[in-house]
Structure 1
Amino acid sequence: MPPLKLFSLDSGADFARKVADALGELLAEHEERDFVDGEHKLRPLDDVEGADVYLVQSLYSDGEHSVNDKLVRLLFFIGALKDAGAARVSAVIPYLCYARKDRRTKLRDPLSIQYLAGLFEYTGTDCVATLDAHNLAAFENAFRCRTLHLPAQPLFVDFAEAQLRDDDGPLVVASPDVGGVKRAEAFRQALGERLEREIGSAFVEKYRSADQLSGGTLVGEVRDASVLIVDDLISGGGTIRRAADAMHKGGARRIFALASHGQFCGDALEKLGRLPLEAIAVTDSLPQADGSDKLQVVSCAPLLAEAIRRLHEGGPAVELSL
């Protein structure tokens, strides 16, 4: 079996160390230099010839680097690892950028997820693993290299069980829009099996034109129920705000918001904190700052570590995608 090497860019090192700790490995050494003209260079300092390499890095904008800067750095580093003789390079990307642009909704729209996949394939990436892609079918169809999709559902089932263990009232799992109904239904079934009880379902109609949201009609019965609103991403917070408002007006007794990725752009978290939400739970696929006493972070590092372990040892990694 080839040696396992675990890398991260400097900007993702804090999270990657959590994955390394869960895996029982150390992060491999690398050099990352920025030049005065804005260009940069990355190279592995550890020997990677013949190694099975995993590069852990979420792709998002922060105060130092744009999402495009991080993407280029990641691609160049993958190329450097392949040139240095790595037998296999897997990109483990908890939050995958450009995954939301997966279909044409207007004339001459781009298919950004396909172009992104082409960039990874060109640099020789052997596998791309991510947590809760926005559109699973589009993610899997865009890449010609191996993909591994890791749902955060088991993490949130554990969270929900802890919150609802002593709740004897009706329970409902809701989608904040029609597009997320399948995700919410899968979660409803998994939670029902865990709690061994019937759980209702609901969704909220939503229409989007550019950045404008409309709709808000609740479909389903939530009166006197504890409601879990399940989504893949909270960005500006508008979708969750509309859904929480609809649940509150529908008579829900308790309301929770669960999302795999918490971007919380601008003052989104502050605004969500003023809603009748008991808790807002997200994973640490994106770094979370202290901004609300309602925010609860569920770590996905152990899940990613287990995925890396199974990929390295020859499986069965695919079972984690169910």
Structure 2
Amino acid sequence: MSMPTGNPPLLFSLDGHPLLSSLSEQLGGVVGSLDSRQFPDGETYLKVNTPVAGADCVVVANLAHPNKTFLPLIFLLGTLRDLGANSVGLVAPYLCYMRQDRRFAEGEALTSRLFARILSQHMDWLVTVDPHLHRYHALDEIYSVPSQRVEGAHALADWLRGQQQLLLVGPDAESEQWVAEVAGASGHPYVIGEKHRFGDRQVEVQLPELSPYRGRTAVIIDDVIASGQTILQCLSALKKGGIGRVNCAAVHGIFANRVDVALRQAGLGELATCNTIPHPTNRIDITPLLVPAVTACLPRHKN
């Protein structure tokens, strides 16, 4: 790798990620131009219009639906390298394929390791927000490039700070440490539920006695809303416990099968997510937390 030129970084995004503009502005970077489309047979055409030779390039990608976006992303990362970029880093605010972190049954694909191995070959560094580190302790157990992990809890705490008469709710024991951090930083009390899972889409949530908190607005706190069943059950338990108004704040909103609509219909009030995955519920800006992480990865900073 050649020495950095001192020029501002170039930022690219295949899908026009809403973080592209704010991240570029706060990094003092330049948004690069590219053309991308599909041929009639479904193959990807890609053309990078901005000269990148000698530049540090940052690709911002939405990996919430990776099976249709992964190949174009690999093509972009590889093309930037082929065109002589000094470095190519990836900002994937939501990092997919972290769920399958062990073989639960004989013959299962260990997709988290396979995905990480492929992606690592095409980039120099990675920045992400709250990856699903369940059985892994750190990203470098599966990714072979330097990485920075941003904690979305700080963004949620900043958003909740100053709001009055709240009760933060964690749906299960796994969330306790995380919810406790948000509660401590935002100055609100919290309770933790007990979750029993019976399948991918069947869960039950039991909450402690809620009578001391009646009159408060409950805010369910979660890192990822995927199927939304945990949130639905937690909402139901809060209503049964006498809590009249229930909101929800999460870092990543995947909202499979439009479950955000089902949550509204079930009586959820405000639904707020970070802008890691583009969605109408994006209320919380993660950019200020991403900037120092990206800066730390750029070669010009290290030198």
Task: Tell me the TM-score normalized by structure 2.
Answer: 0.85
Q: How does 1:158-177 map to 2 (within 5 A)?
A: 158-164=158-164, 167=165, 171-177=166-172
Matched, 1:217 2:206: yes
Aligned partners of 1:279 and 1:296 also within 8 Å: no
Aligned partners of 2:103 and 2:109 also within 8 Å: yes
Q: How does 1:1-322 map to 2 (within 5 A)?
A: 1-2=4-5, 3-61=7-65, 67-123=66-122, 125-135=123-133, 138=136, 140=139, 141-164=141-164, 167=165, 171-192=166-187, 199-209=189-199, 211-219=200-208, 221=210, 223-224=213-214, 225-252=216-243, 254-289=245-280, 295=281, 297-312=283-298, 314=301
SS state at 2:98 partner: coil
- 5+ residue gaps, structure 1, are 62-66, 193-197, 290-294, 316-322
Distance 1:156 1:286 in 2: 15
Distance 1:306 1:132 in 2: 15
Q: Which one-letter code corresponds to 1:121 in the other structure? A: S
Alpha-carbon distance change, 200 to 283 in structure 1, aligned in 2, over 3 angstroms = closer
Alpha-carbon distance change, 220 to 132 in structure 1, aligned in 2, over 3 angstroms = farther
Alpha-carbon distance change, 155 to 6 in structure 1, aligned in 2, over 3 angstroms = same
Alpha-carbon distance change, 306 to 99 in structure 1, aligned in 2, over 3 angstroms = same
What displacement does 1:71 show?
A: 0.9
Aligned partners of 1:202 and 1:221 also within 8 Å: no
Distance 1:180 1:111 in 2: 25
What displacement does 1:43 show?
A: 4.0
* Deviation digits for residues 84-126 of structure 1 (CA, Å, limit 9, x no counterpart): 2222211001122222222333333322121111011222x11
Aligned partners of 1:6 and 1:56 also within 8 Å: no
Q: Which one-letter code corresponds to 1:205 in the other structure? A: K
Q: Which one-letter code corresponds to 1:108 in the other structure? A: G
Q: Which one-letter code corresponds to 1:215 in the other structure? A: E
Q: Which one-letter code corresponds to 2:291 in the other structure? A: A
SS state at 2:16 partner: helix
Q: Greater shift after overlay, 110-119 or 35-44?
A: 35-44
Aligned partners of 1:75 and 1:119 also within 8 Å: no
What displacement does 1:13 show?
A: 4.4
Alpha-carbon distance change, 136 to 128 in structure 1, aligned in 2, over 3 angstroms = farther
SS state at 1:42 partner: strand
The CA RMSD over aligned residues, in Å, is: 2.5
Q: Which one-letter code corresponds to 2:133 in the other structure? A: N
- 5+ residue gaps, structure 2, are none
Q: Which one-letter code corresponds to 2:195 in the other structure? A: E
Q: Which one-letter code corresponds to 2:201 in the other structure? A: Q
What displacement does 1:242 show?
A: 0.6
Distance 2:295 2:101 in 1: 30
Count of residue correspondences: 293
SS state at 2:42 partner: coil
Q: Which one-letter code corresponds to 1:145 in the other structure? A: V
SS state at 2:9 partner: strand
Aligned partners of 1:221 and 1:250 also within 8 Å: yes
Alpha-carbon distance change, 107 to 185 in structure 1, aligned in 2, over 3 angstroms = farther
Equivalence for 1:319: none
